[in-house]
Amino acid sequence: MSLDKPYRDIPGTTIYDADQARKGYHLNQFAMSLMTPENRERFLADEAAYLDEWPLNPVQRQAVLDMDLNAMIGEGGNIYFLAKIGATHGLSFQQMAGSMTGMSEAAYRDMMIGGGRNPQGARLKDLDGWTPPSTEKATTMRPDAPAKFTSAVFTSHVPAIGAAMDLGKTEEPYWKKVFDGYEWTRRWAKENTPDVVILVYNDHATAFDASIIPTFVLGTGAHYPVADEGYGPRPVPDVKGYPEFAAHLAQSIIQDDFDLTLVNEMVVDHGLTVPLSLVYGELGTDEKWPVKVIPLAVNVVQYPVPSGRRCYELGKALRRAIDKWDGPELNVQIWGTGGMSHQLQGPRAGLINKEWDNAFLDHLIADPLGLTEWQHMEYVDEAGSEGIELVDWLIARGAMDDQFGGGAPEVDHRFYHVPASNTAVGHLVVSNEVAPHLAESASANASADESANQELEEATA
C-alpha cells in the first residue's frame, strides 16, 4: 500500500515534498546562501568557483549555471529557495515564473494581464481515469505489512544516569539499584535489536531555544550529533537517522492532520542519548549504536504543551504511517521516554509521587485510552512540574496494536525505583506479540523479574 501522492500527476507541476527536499537539499541551501550581499557578490564574480563550494550533482550545477529553473525544480529545488538565485540575477518572480512556461517574457506578462492561465485542461481532474484518493483513516493494521512494530520501551532519562555511566559509577550502591532495573532489558535488547527505533523524547532547551518552540518535531535527517549541554558532549556515538523512512512517516502523519515540524539538522540531548545508553550499555564515540533512530521530540519546556490525548492520537497516526510503508521489511520499536515524577524547580523541588507514578504505569498498560483523560494539571500537580514529560509515553502507547483491534500487549518487564538524582525511574518493555525466543528465555529471566517485582513492591509499599 503505497502512500497516495496523486499530486505527482498534476500537469506541469512539481510538488516539493520530503522526497524532493532530500534530493534538492544542497541546491536549496546553496540558494539560501545568497541572502547576504557578500555571497551574492562572490557568486556573481565567479559562479563556477562559488558552486565548487557546494556538493551539487552535475545536473543541479549545470542548471544553476544555465539559470534553468525547470531543471532545478526537477532536481529538488523549491521555487522559494530558488528565487534567491533569481533575485541575485535581478529577476522578478514574474520573470522567473514565465521563464519556465516556454513563453516569451512579453507573452507571459500579457497572459497574466488577460486574466492568467485558464485551469480548463490544465488540471489532473481533466485527465481520463482519475479518481480522488481516499481520506479514510485505517482502524486495523495489515498483518503482512513490511514494517512491524514489535515492542515499545518506556523509560526515564535522567542526565545523571548518563553521567554515572560515562564516569564509571554504575557499580556504586546508589547507581547499582538503578542499573539493576535495566539488566533484563539489556539481555532482551541483544536478541531484539530492531532496524529502527522511533525515539519519542523531549528536548531540554538544547536543540530548540527560546527562538523556536515546535510542539512536535520529527527528525528527517541522516545524522544527529550528541549535544554539549554545558558539560561537554557525552562520550557516546552520534546518532544515525533513517531519512527515507522518516520522510515516509512525515508524509503520512501530516496528511493525517498532525502538523509536525520536520528537522534535518539538530543535536540530540540526554533525553535521547540516556535511553539509548540504558538499553545498549556503554558505547564509546568510536562505536555505533546498533539501531537507526528517528527522533520524535515533544515540547514540554514552554506551556502550552500537548495533552496526553493529543500525544496518544499522534501515536495512532504514527502507527498508521508505519503500516503504510512499502519499502524493505523493517522491525520497528517505539520508545517513550522522560518522567516519571520529578520537579526540578522552586520550593517544591524533589517531589516524588510513587502511588501516582505506579497508577500511571498501570493505566498505561491496561487503560491507555482512560489515561488520555488525565489533564495537564494532574501531571503537574501530582507528578511535579517536570513530570509532564510523561506525555511522551502516550505516543508510543497509542501506536500499539491493541489500539487497532489487536490483542492486549505483553508486559515483558517492569521496574520502578526512587531516586535517580531528582527523579523517580520508571521502565517498561511491552511487546505487541510474544516473540518465540522470549517464551524460551522466560525461565532464565524469571529471577531477574522477581527481584524487579520485589523492588516494585518495596517502592510502592
Residues tagged active-site: 270, 342
Residue 344 in contact with ligand DHB, rule: CB under 6 A: yes
Question: Which range, of 17-25, 40-48, 327-335, 417-425, touches ligand DHB by CB under 6 A?
Answer: 417-425
- Number of residues engaging ligand DHB in binding (CB under 6 A): 11
3-state helix, strand, coil in the chain (%, to 5): 45, 15, 40
Q: How far is CA 138 from the centre of its chain?
A: 21
- Kindly report the number of other CB atoms within 10 A of residue 445's CB atom: 17
Residue 351 in contact with ligand DHB, rule: CB under 6 A: no
Between the two ends of the chain, the Cα-to-Cα distance in Å is 50
Residue 159 in contact with ligand DHB, rule: CB under 6 A: yes
- Kindly report the number of other CB atoms within 10 A of residue 440's CB atom: 10
Whole-angstrom Cα distance, residue 19 to residue 60? Answer: 16
Whole-angstrom Cα distance, residue 242 to residue 23? Answer: 15
Q: How far is the CB of 336 from ligand DHB (least distance, A)?
A: 13
Q: How far is the CB of 413 from ligand DHB (least distance, A)?
A: 21
Residue 234 in contact with ligand DHB, rule: CB under 6 A: no
Nearer to ligand DHB, 193 or 421 (CB): 421
Q: How far is the CB of 86 from ligand DHB (least distance, A)?
A: 45
Among 56, 85, 160, 400, binds ligand DHB (CB under 6 A): 160
Among 422, 429, 430, 452, binds ligand DHB (CB under 6 A): 422
Cis peptide before 419 (omega within 30 of 0): yes
Beta bridge partners of 295: 199
Among 40, 148, 204, 292, binds ligand DHB (CB under 6 A): 204
What is the 3-class SS of 415-426, one letter each residue? EEEEEECCEEEE
**x/- track of binding to ligand DHB for residues 178-197 (CB under 6 A):** --------------------
Instruction: Report residue 182 as a C-alpha cell.
Output: 535495566
Question: Which range, of 153-161, 363-371, 377-385, 444-452, touches ligand DHB by CB under 6 A?
Answer: 153-161
| DSSP, res 401 | G
Binding positions for ligand DHB, rule: CB under 6 A = 157-160, 204, 342, 344, 386, 421-423
